[in-house]
Amino acid sequence: MTKVPAFERPLSDRQREVLDTAPLAELTDAKAWLLARGQAVTPPAVATAVLDARQRALSAPAKAAKAKRDKAERQAFKAELRQDTDRLGRCAAEVVAVALERDGQAPTWGELGHAMHWSWWQRHLAIPKLAKQGWLATGTAPRSIRPGPKSGKT
């Protein structure tokens, strides 16, 4: 079976509709977008570029809303970390102490974060801060987290 070149492929109904109804400015933008990326300017490519641009425009508000929620979540966690450092430090040190006693080895950052119900970015923000505050002691070796001097479990 031989592959049909893009310029010889038939247009789908959706592509044909786009080429028939899209404003000239939208078609021109799609052609410029294709040329800027070194792609062939064929009717199917132009129609697909227009459809993709429309989809990006539709998803932009959802992405902006998600970014706003993520920023609010980060700010809330940072505020909690500032206000409840002692509580979080005690809990994290206790998790580490229990793991050391039960398993004979310290948890990884991921395991500690999972036990504390932290996301990836939360644990990478919290663990160094708790270590700096003295609640945890960290090292460069894997599983080197230990309860810090402030925890009273050293």
Q: Where are the domains of the chain?
A: 6-66, 84-151
CA–CA separation, 104 vs 93, rounded Å?
Answer: 15
What are the pLDDT digits (tens) for 28-62? Answer: 999 999 999 999 898 999 999 999 999 988 888 88
What are the pLDDT digits (tens) for 67-125? Answer: 999 999 999 999 999 999 999 999 999 999 999 999 999 999 999 999 999 999 999 99
CA–CA separation, 20 vs 17, rounded Å?
Answer: 5
CA–CA separation, 52 vs 11, rounded Å?
Answer: 16
CATH topology for the 84-151 domain = Arc Repressor Mutant, subunit A (1.10.10)
